[in-house]
Copies of this chain bind each other. A is one copy, B any other.
């Protein structure tokens, strides 16, 4: 893992926050600079352009998510436990980092997303896939296309987190389990 210069990190973080507040447009470089406490020119010392700043920001947030989920993982869980844990901790990560959620949502539905390398966006769901593979081998999961299942799971997580953040529904311990159970029932053989 590359060590990120302090100012570079500050730029990434403030971009993240500003994009949550003002959206993709509506965040001029000058504002990023001010919020990060650097000069406008400094940004261009670290990033070629606004586009690459945003592309790198995506990689940066993907790293954060990955890290957070893996931290919670323990050995010797059965598949269902494993699924619940992954689902819930991913969802909680997004809830605790709304700016990441907002950014990713915006990013994936923007013309930027198709531009990132295929393995970049595959890695983003690597841990989900790893899990699906396991479930398949044990004959526990339905025979549904791999990618399809992975994406359906991931989108359920994002959606749940989003609803919670918007305050439309309060998600507590109970609701998390209800939701994880719903998704679990949708992917396992009945």
Residues of A within 8 A of B (CB): 21-26, 102, 105-106, 109-111, 142, 144-145, 147-148, 151-152, 155-156, 158-160, 163, 168-169, 175, 178-179, 182-183, 185-187, 190
Contacts and interface: CB of A to CB of B under 8 A. Distances in A.
Most B CB contacts (10 A, CB to CB) among A25, A105, A110 go to A110
A104 to B, nearest CB: 9
Given A147-B169, A156-B156, A23 B111 contact: yes
Contacts of A148: 160, 163, 168-169, 175, 179
Contacts of A109: 102, 105-106, 109
B190 A190 contact: yes
A12 B185 CA distance: 41
A163 B183 contact: no
A168 B147 contact: yes
Contact of A144 (B23, B147, B155, B182): B182
A173 to B, nearest CB: 14
A185 to B, nearest CB: 5
Contact of A152 (B145, B151, B182): B182
A190 B187 CA distance: 14
A147 B186 CA distance: 19
Contacts of A169: 145, 147-148
Contact of A110 (B106, B152, B186): B106
Contact of A151 (B142, B163, B187): B163
B175 A145 contact: yes
Contact of A142 (B22, B152, B178, B187): B178
A182 B175 contact: no
Contacts of A147: 163, 168-169
Contacts of A185: 185-186, 190
Contacts of A159: 151-152, 155
